[in-house]
Amino acid sequence: MASIRRTLSPLYHDRPFDNGGAPFSPSSISSRTSKHNSSQFLSFLTATTDPKPSRRGPWRRPFYQFLAFFLIGFLLGMTPFGQIDDVNGTDRSNFEIKPPNNVKREEVGVSFVEEKKKEDFDLAVPRKLVIVVTPTYNRAMQGYYLNRVAQTLRLVEPPVLWIVVEGNAASFETSEILRKTGVMYRHLVCKRNMTSIKDRGVHQRNTALEHIELHKLDGIVYFADDDNVYSLELFQSLREIRRFGTWPVAMLAPSKNKAILEGPVCNGSQVIGWHTNEKSKRLRRFHVDMSGFAFNSTILWDPKRWKRPFTHPTRQLDTVREGFQQETTFIEQVVADESDMEGVPSACSRILNWHLHLDALDVPYPQGWVMQKNLEAVITVR
């Protein structure tokens, strides 16, 4: 049987169905469905693999989250944890963190704020210069005395200026001692003839006063003889003096079997009387030892500031009797009466220096501080 082969009809591109199929046949419907699904799949792949970024990228949301957490952390870091008190009531820049309730104040000690304020005060107000005047001369105990005073001055908080005055010429031994002390010093020489003077220290102290007046040194002047014994507290207290300060001195009696007290009787810092005896009461106005007072150096070169009645320079007098009128005649040039004096320390209740008079008169002066060998034989130890 001959077979009849039907030719395919030409392809019409404008028809929505395939060649040979009806518009609403099952084959055409399934074909359309498959084409629609494949087009959706291709569009999905195109969207996910498109390299062009969108205008609203995925980075904005993490960025805003990071910014929010950063601001929260910054605010928490700036917030103080603990109880804060206003220290002075008006000063809002100083803070003190209170300790827990179960910790006592004594266990915590001085707060950081108090220590900081104290340090700032020490740095803001410079210490007053202490000018120590020491007359000296060649004798057997000179090296011992000068070294003893130097070791005390080394412990005093600076600034300290030690003015050492010798007579006629500066000795090599004294210069060597001063160079090794570590204390700021000035080595002066008194050119006055002191052969006929009982107290050579008068002109030596005047030489130091002239030096202070010439260079206008601003500080507290203290006459510290090399044979006295001084406490460290004395030099620390000198900076509290405004014009003229005085304190009691313990002195060894001529019999050297007891000590006597000489100096002021104080009510707080006010001088209300003097320690004295009947003999000195008749001969002295101010019963104080030469090492028992100190004064402001501006009295020497700025008398108008203190309204001093004297026009001549403030100096010690060598025409008065030693040990009775020297201190009085000098103090009368500095103050009018006890109302211008200050008791040091408060109430004058402690002895800060001692005047002993223990010099060895018959011992020769060792040249160069070197003792000659006095042994005739040396015995070796077996």
Q: Evaluate whether residue 324 is within a structural domain.
A: yes
Over 50: is that where the pLDDT of 343 sits?
yes
Global confidence as pTM: 0.64
Q: Which residues contact 210 (CB under 8 A, 6 or more apart)?
A: 313
pLDDT tens for 223-262 read 999 999 999 999 999 999 999 999 999 987 766 677 788 8
More confident call, 256 vs 66? 66
Over 50: is that where the pLDDT of 321 sits?
yes
Mean pLDDT of 104-124: 46
Tally: H helices and E strands in the chain: 12, 14
Q: Evaluate whether residue 93 is within a structural domain.
A: no
What is the total count of domains within the chain? 1
Closest CA to 356 of 148, 92, 184, 177: 148
Q: Evaluate whether residue 55 is within a structural domain.
A: no
Q: Evaluate whether residue 270 is within a structural domain.
A: yes
What whole-number distance in Å separates Cα of residue 372 and Cα of residue 262? Answer: 42
**Catalytic (active site) residue 327:** yes
Q: Evaluate whether residue 37 is within a structural domain.
A: no
CATH of the domain at 142: 3.90.550.10
Residue 300 burial class via C-beta count within 10 angstroms: exposed 0-12, middle 13-18, buried 19 and up: buried
166, 173, 262, 327: which one is catalytic?
A: 327
Which structural domain range is residue 172 located in?
A: 130-355
What's the pLDDT band for 363 if we cut at 50, 70, 90?
low
Q: Evaluate whether residue 347 is within a structural domain.
A: yes
What whole-number distance in Å separates Cα of residue 347 and Cα of residue 283? Answer: 26
More confident call, 42 vs 162? 162
Rg (alpha carbons) of the chain, rounded to whole number: 49
Binding site members for Mn(2+): 227
What's the pLDDT band for 38 if we cut at 50, 70, 90?
low
Q: Evaluate whether residue 245 is within a structural domain.
A: yes
Per-residue CA distances from 51 to 55, 62, 341, 350 (Å): 13, 21, 97, 95
Binding site members: 227
| Cα dihedral sign, 200-203-206-211 | negative
Looking at residue 64, what is its pLDDT? 83
What whole-number distance in Å separates Cα of residue 49 and Cα of residue 63? Answer: 24
Per-residue CA distances from 344 to 98, 240, 242 (Å): 38, 8, 11
- How does the average pLDDT of the chain come out, rounded? 76
pLDDT tens for 132-155 read 999 998 888 889 999 999 999 999
Q: Evaluate whether residue 59 is within a structural domain.
A: no
